[in-house]
Structure 1
């Protein structure tokens, strides 16, 4: 029966380590940091997973919510376009979100940067961007409708 004592001690040691790991945020951060270092070292040595074999998801090519809101705002601004600062100010987005969305839309060919003389850069939709906005019904379209006796009303 001398082997029972070390087994009980080992059980208590492993139980205490398990509880310590489960409740300590510092140890969680340390384990996460070690995991990120290991994954980073795998990437440096070329041991990453090859994702090109998978078929691209339908969501990869679809714009996200920030991009849709930017397309709508730029479509309503017309050919004049809006500056980055005006987009951030009117949409109440973080600058990083606007930059990411503009970069992504620029890569897709939906938005272009228009250099103004002394004002700076304004962003506006390309022809493809305008067509996409019309197809997705992102631009509100209004028509005048006659209601008789000279009364006109706007109909969406």
Structure 2
């Protein structure tokens, strides 16, 4: 199932590649949090409906609520998808970029496996990978001092 999800993710990212925008446009806003290279290698797509893998196997392992949940953004590898109404929300972009860092550090199959396990054991809001992203986006949105997000994430995985 993990490989099937990764294949689906790769197909979604390829499908929307022409619409991707580089996160380097946030270099000034996220200075000190994300390196310029990281932002250059990260992308976002503005899309009405965030794509999710609606596989029966995912529903059978208890992830139906997550699949059906309306979200403002979702991250797949180095690309995240945001709803048009949220395009200007820096906090959301910051949050999704934390997930990009998690994907890069864990690798696709390990990230997918861990995320599914956390959703099953903790639920969306309390999943440790989500908690990490919410902690960091909260720090950023409250004007906190810059933190190297990649190092922070690596030290807590």
Q: Which TM-score applies when normalising by structure 2?
A: 0.22
Q: Which TM-score applies when normalising by structure 1?
A: 0.22
Using CA pairs below 8 Å that are at least 6 residues apart, which structure has the higher relative contact order?
Answer: 2
Structure number, greater radius of gyration: 1
